[in-house]
Structure 1
Amino acid sequence: VADLEAEGALLKTEAHDHNVGTCYRCGTTVEPRVSKQWFVRMEDLAKPAIEAVKKGDTKFVPPHFDKTYYHWLEGIRDWCISRQLWWGHQIPAFYCDDCGEMIVTKDNAPVCPKCGKPMRQDPDTLDTWFSSALWPFSTLGWPEKTEEMDYFYPTSTLVTGYDIIFFWVIRMMFSGLEHVGEVPFRTVLIHGLVRDSQGRKMSKSLGNGIDPLEVIDKYGADALRFTLVTGNAPGNDMRFYWERVEASRNFANKVWNASRFIMMHLEDAKIIEPAKEELEVIDQWILSAVNTLAKEVTENMEKYELGIAVQKINDFVWTEFCDWYIELVKPRLFNKEANPISANAAFWTLRTVLIASLKLLHPFMPFITEEIFCTLQSEEESIMVSSWPEYRKEWEDKEAEQKAELIKNLVRGIRNSRTEMNVAPSRKAKVYLVADDEKTYTELKELEDFYRHMILASEVLIQMDKSGIEDNAVSVVINKATIYMPLADLIDFKKEKERLEKEKKRLEGELKRVNGMLSNERFMSKAPAQKIAEEKEKLVKYESMMKKVEEELASL
């Protein structure tokens, strides 16, 4: 400006707002300048990489990510591969300061081919993605033909995030095709990003990053791995919640405690595989269930549906195996001397199903499953190299599954009814089971020994009609049967009446207070609208509760 002014060529000066680049680390203004850089001509490299995916040599999971791949390759520009950094592969270009000659060579200390003087290497380094692009084959001994190269190239599956499809996946593809003549991997499994609980990308500037080592220190590596897979589909982002890690830790504890319980009762007992006729109905059911689980989980994993697979394993282990089968089988474990054949069948089933479950869970929780597996059995050296559970047609048993469902419906119905009525676990009641048909009647008789200890019954009566059942008996309708329990067995009428009278008195006080506030003109004119709305909601709630209490008192 000063020079222009001195020449008399300056017409005017004025302020002008425009975007100025700044360094993302220190905030210093970045001024662009022209400089010489190394480039890779991309047109000839891009075409084979596009064709490889179109022909199906490499597939994306989910498939729609091939659009991102094509988008970048079809509009690609020449790639600037030189960087002015201290760390990285130094560009193998050398200059002669005497005659100006420039060569590219593998030699670390070349002399000038023209004048014979020592040459100076280019100080720039290669773009980190250039180096990373060589990873699939450079780690296997390339350019030598090694055993590792023959065995591992191309590899089966690459797992990576959608944010580096261009930076890494594409560059590995065209580098592999150019240098080796074959794609580096058959499948590219794309996962999403882990975001914070508000859905924001984790970054240093926001300070919302989660250190995985802190999570592992607090909850364990298994819990963290399980969390990252649970409820997640390929290519989708997920939000990180500490509560979910805690839930995963709780699941690990459930597996550990169930395994300890089984091993504690197994002790050093010699368990042999029982004959089919020695297996009880509930044994046949859980074997059929884990058999189906193995089939479905294998199919899910082959389709890369890891989130679905892990949820099925969670549901089976926590609910079907721990909450139902182990509880149903306990009387046989505690009385093993009375019926050793039945106890052996129970122990064999527990051990067999637990081992299969551990194997299915192992890819997601490797550490706890390896520890339990090696303690539980000695036939296989490690769960990592053990045989994967396979579907066995002879274990499929739909009839046993249907009978187990009848048991679960029965137990659930009674438990829910007792919970709703606040019946203490110590209070036992007579239970009438009225079957809808002969088949259900027979099954309820056959299965009584399995469910009796789980329904807190003083007596179980199975019949085809309502004879002997009081009119005021509590009823629970389940599939193919109805459950009846005498009200007097469930409730101490005197104590229940005292409790309801006390609750009625409390509600009367609350209603008097709320009505007093809502009828106060000063409160209604000065209180915030939200406060008034809250009090009106309380009025509706207390009136509803009072109605229920009065109905229960009337029924008593």
Structure 2
Amino acid sequence: MLEKTYEPAAVESRIYDAWLEADAFAAGAGAKPGAETFTIVIPPPNVTGSLHIGHALNNTIQDILIRFNRMLKKDVLWQPGTDHAGIATQMIVERQLAEKQLDRRTMGREKFIERVWEWKAESGGTIMNQLKRLGASADFSRERFTMGAAGQPDDQMVRAVTKVFVELHKRGLIYRAKRLVNWHPGLETAISDLEVENIEVKGHMWHLRYPLADGVTYQFPITDEEGKVTGHETRDYIVVATTRPETMLGDSGVAVHPEDERYRGLVGKFVELPLVGRRIPIVADDYADPALGSGAVKITPAHDFNDFEVGSRNGLEAINVFTAHGAILDADFTPEKYRGLDRFEARKAIVADLVALAEENSARGLDHIEDKKIMVPHDEKSKQVVIEPFLTDQWWVKAEVLAEPALASVREGRTKFVPQQYENTYFAWLENIRPWCISRQLWWGHQIPAWYGPDGEAFVAHGVEEAQEAADRHYGKPVELTRDPDVLDTWFSSALWPFSTLGWPDETPELKRYYPTDVLVTGFDIIFFWVARMMMMGLEFLDEEPFHTVYMHALVRDEKGQKMSKTRGNVIDPLQLIDEYGADATRFTLAAMAAQGRDLKLAIGRVEGYRNFVTKLWNAARFLELNEARRVADYDPRANRLPLNRWIVGATARALAEVRAGIEDYKFNEAANAAYEFVWGTFCDWYVEFAKPVFGGEDEAARAETRATAAWALDRILVMLHPMMPFVTEELWAETGKSGPARETMLILAEWPDLSGLEDSEADAELAWLIDVISNIRSVRAEMNVPAGARLQLVVTGAGEQTLARLVAGTALISRLARLEEISPRSEVPGESAQFVVGEATFALPLAGVIDLGAEKARLEKDIGKLDAEIAQIDKKLSNEQFVAKAPEEVIEEQKSRRDAAMARREKILEALKRLS
């Protein structure tokens, strides 16, 4: 006997344990012999991470696809695992050490790595366990980690990374060079663009005067407010501007546009760098914009990405003035008074000296300071450390070479993006790709397989023995080698994920069977950092794309459309949702809102609403159980006699087809909404209500047929909902399986049914007519404020033979569900009645004496007036260009939603007035 209420907390862990015990998640579980494969690799979450709402959406979508394809009896593999998250993990362990007054450098590399592995064993599995609470049915027996196994240098994952590095180096696609990188002065390492967040801050633009060298002067035009030249001023300096005055110590040139008439005669001349005294050239370069500032730009190739390119084009020296931790270098080319100062302390000292210099000599020093909001790159995790462009020796990949096949794959349709619009993002990244910096100055990660000889010559090899042999040959004698201390960018190892997790570089049966995978489900923000790089590596090393489809899910925002953040205090924790509403309601909410290409606006009320849906399903199953609706072994839905049962069989077939189409087309919202509308609306609200008099009637044959049909339909409902709501459906499958024929499998391994050919157009038409009549009567009662207890008359005119027959057959149902006292065919529509038309017949509900028709009409017209005023007010706002330009996006969306709701309400009221007339 089903419990009176469904309690997710009491069921979910028990059900999950039962799935694990049955090995239901294992690759190939439940598959038919010779079945085609269906494979998804989980985007490996950081080993440091915990489940956030984006993870919940991402993994819900994956699990829907996995459970659905498993029910199609395919050989399914959902490959799980985690990423070693080099920077984040090292930061956590270093913080723990600092609390104990320990430091990794005093510990040494080996001991520190041992400590990280200990942390991973103790705390590194959090997110995988949280995914299990969501119901993820990944094959956890195959769980992998991008760093491989602890203390196993020959682990297959380590060998995969090493092989790729060595092979790309042999092919000339990996090289070492001094180039600019994003540098984290706190961690003293290069970081990726994804780990940099540009934050708008209140800053300054310092305009500086650089004196022309060698006694040179020039005529600088003076313009009025309209830009007209009104005269000239003889100057012996150029004005440049910077938001980072400390970088001027590394200036090696000033750039002007080649077509800027103001400076044409100065190209090839020199300026003297204030405070430093170094002569630096004036060069012509398109990078200088004549319309910005003075049109002259200071060039610091070692500390600005654009300047690096200008410097490379013009042969300017790249002068690095910072140490790895962001202090001014102690070097001959830096003024002694600034050496060792932190970059921001140096900024204050340099600005003060430039002010003093200007007071002494008007041709040099500070011209003026402009207050300005500027974008400053910060460490994405802490939001505290300012990131510096920094010139260092790093290892690089010629990504532009690897990108060509990856571009062709998408252009030629071998891999497609859903929604397709994300192809443009992919193309934009890959068509403008730059060398990929793959080295990090960390200890946690895959150590670069390169060893250096006494003169710095690098020997890239699979191991130290191989490197030693190469070095001995190179030098003609044994030499001592030193291993490169750096590790590889985390994205380098995760780029191999679709095949390294399957055993590559070994020729494993899993690799042969499950590569290429089928679908990648991920977020749009890592199209370049992960998706594109997996494409590159898959094509380079296995000559085949790693997946045929990339489904890009949108961002989960709060109910107002704002991005979730801790500072806003609007973060929604999926684990709290699961605790309060259950995993099924949480998953179904995310699925129902996952429209392609549209961000989700998640309101707690939606989750609560879908919890009610879970309850509705449970109560319907319990009602059927109380009415002895049990599965029948030899039940044949095609043999049904009653139109009611023939109708629900066809409706079930249609709903299953719609849910299947939604999942297969990656329109998860359409799949969820089709299931919801059928289960709540068609099955619970109509079929169960229509079945009640049959269950309580004296026609034993009709009762038996309806019981068997209801149980059959409930089984199919459990199947269609299972990919989205696995726990409650599995529980009901088990409970309803206690009567009738024994279940062959758990629901997770049941087969998705083929119900083609079960629709019955005659029964559909008859029940559609019945529902239409009852719905119209209910609408009239609601719109006209008819008292709930009032029993009305229904007058029918113009009814044909078929309508009259349906009226006779349905009188009892219509009367009970629409609260009617009498149904009577007549030749004329009575006065003072509300009317509607179904088919050829006109239906009228006489309301005289039941409500005050005049007052009701006046109320409705007054409501129309209020709505018209509200709509006009919103239209006025939305047509105001200033309002639209300044208002936050979520405010605009709220106004549009209010307008849509008001328009919908207005249409309903107009329909009610139409009925009265």
Which TM bucket (shorter chain)?
0.7 to 0.9
Q: RMSD across aligned C-alpha pairs, in angstroms?
A: 3.4
In structure 2, C-alpha distance between the alignment counterparts of 1:451 and 1:220, rounded to whole Å: 37
Deviation at 1:121, TM superposition (A): 2.8
Residue in 1 that maps onto 2:818: 455
State how far apart, in whole Å, the 1-side matches of 2:744 and 2:384 are: 59
- 1:504-548 C-alpha deviation (Å, 9 max, x unpaired): 9xxxxxxxxxxxxxxxxxxxxxxxxxxxxxxxxxxxxxxxxxxxx
Deviations 1:188-237 (A, max 9, x none): 11111112233333334544332211121122222222222224322322
Name 1:428's counterpart in structure 2. Answer: 791
Decide which of 385, 388, 395 is 2:749's aligned counterpart: 385
Q: Does 1:351 align with 2:711?
A: yes
- Partner residue of 1:548? none
Equivalent AA in structure 2 for residue 37 of structure 1: Q
Q: Which amino acid aligns with 1:148?
A: E
**Does the CA-based 8 Å contact 1:223-1:252 persist in structure 2?**
yes
Counterpart residue number, 2:390: 33
Q: Quick one: distance in 1 between partners of 2:558 and 2:336?
A: 58
> CA distance change for structure 1 residues 47 and 422 in 2, over 3 Å: closer, same or farther?
closer
**Offset at residue 329 of structure 1 (A):** 0.8
Distance 1:249 1:448 in 2: 35
Asked if the contact 1:291–1:391 (Cα under 8 Å) also holds between the matched residues in 2, the reply is yes
Deviation per CA, 1:8-30: give whole Å up to 9, x if none: x9754327679665545263444
Counterpart of 2:425 in structure 1 is 68
* In structure 2, distance between residues paired with 1:465 and 1:339: 35
Higher-strand-fraction structure: 2
Match of 1:166 among 508, 511, 528: 528
1:88 to 445, 450, 469: 445
CA distance in 1, matches of 2:659, 2:423: 26
1:384 maps to a residue whose letter is I
Structure 1 alignment gaps of length 5 or more: 505-556
Amino acid at match of 2:752: W
CA contact (8 A) 2:637 2:649 kept: no
5 Å-filtered alignment, 1:256-271, equals: 256-266=618-628
Q: Aligned pair 1:443/2:806, yes or no? A: yes
Q: What does residue 304 of structure 1 align with?
A: 666
Q: Does the Cα contact within 8 Å between 2:460 and 2:467 map onto a contact in 1?
A: no
Give the 5 Å matches for 1:70-469.
70-96=427-453, 98=454, 100-107=456-463, 112=468, 113-114=471-472, 116=478, 119-266=481-628, 273=635, 276=638, 278-335=640-697, 338-377=698-737, 378-393=742-757, 395-420=758-783, 422-461=785-824, 463=825, 465-466=827-828
Q: How much does 1:425 deviate? A: 4.3
Rounded to whole Å, the distance in 1 between the matches of 2:336 and 2:666 is 72
- Partners of 1:487 and 1:49 lie apart in 2 by 70
Q: Which has the higher contact order (CA 8 A, sep 6+)?
A: 2
Displacement after TM superposition at 1:268 (Å): 6.4
How far off its partner does 1:322 sit? 0.9
CA contact (8 A) 2:452 2:458 kept: yes
- Closer, same or farther: CA 204–400 of 1 in aligned 2, 3 Å: same
Report the Cα distance in structure 1 between the residues aligned to 2:569 and 2:485, rounded to whole angstroms. Answer: 35
CA drift of 1:424 comes to 4.5
Identity over aligned pairs, percent: 39
User: Secondary structure at the residue paired with 1:159?
Assistant: strand
Please state how far the C-alpha of 1:437 moved relative to its aligned partner. 1.2
The CA deviation string for residues 315-349 of structure 1, in whole angstroms up to 9 with x for no partner, is: 111111111111111111123xx222111111122
Secondary structure of 1:316's aligned partner: helix
Structure 1 counterpart SS, 2:498? helix
1:481 aligns to 2:845 (yes or no): no
Superposed displacement of residue 297, structure 1: 2.6
Q: TM (normalized to structure 1)?
A: 0.79
The answer to whether the Cα contact below 8 Å between 2:798 and 2:827 also exists between their aligned partners in 1 is yes
Change (3 A) 1:72 1:408: same
| Partner-residue secondary structure (3-state), 1:188 | strand
Deviation digits for residues 226-271 of structure 1 (CA, Å, limit 9, x no counterpart): 2222243223222222122222222222122212211222276867
Further displaced range: 478-487 or 235-244: 478-487
Q: Which moved more, 1:432-441 or 1:255-264?
A: 432-441
Higher mean C-alpha displacement, 427-436 vs 15-24: 15-24
The separation in 2 between residues aligned to 1:104 and 1:27, in whole angstroms, is 37
**Structure-2 change in CA distance of 1:168 and 1:367 (3 Å):** same
Residues of 2 paired with 1:34 and 1:236: CA distance? Answer: 40
* CA-to-aligned-CA distance 1:78-136 (integer Å, 9 cap, x gap): 1100112343222222234x564432223267774436466433222211111110100
- Work out whether residues 49 and 173 of structure 1, in 8 Å CA contact, stay in contact via their aligned partners in 2: yes
CA spacing shift, 1:277–1:175, aligned 2, 3 Å: closer
Amino acid at match of 2:420: P
Cα gap change, 1:424/1:277 in structure 2, threshold over 3 Å: closer, same or farther? Answer: farther
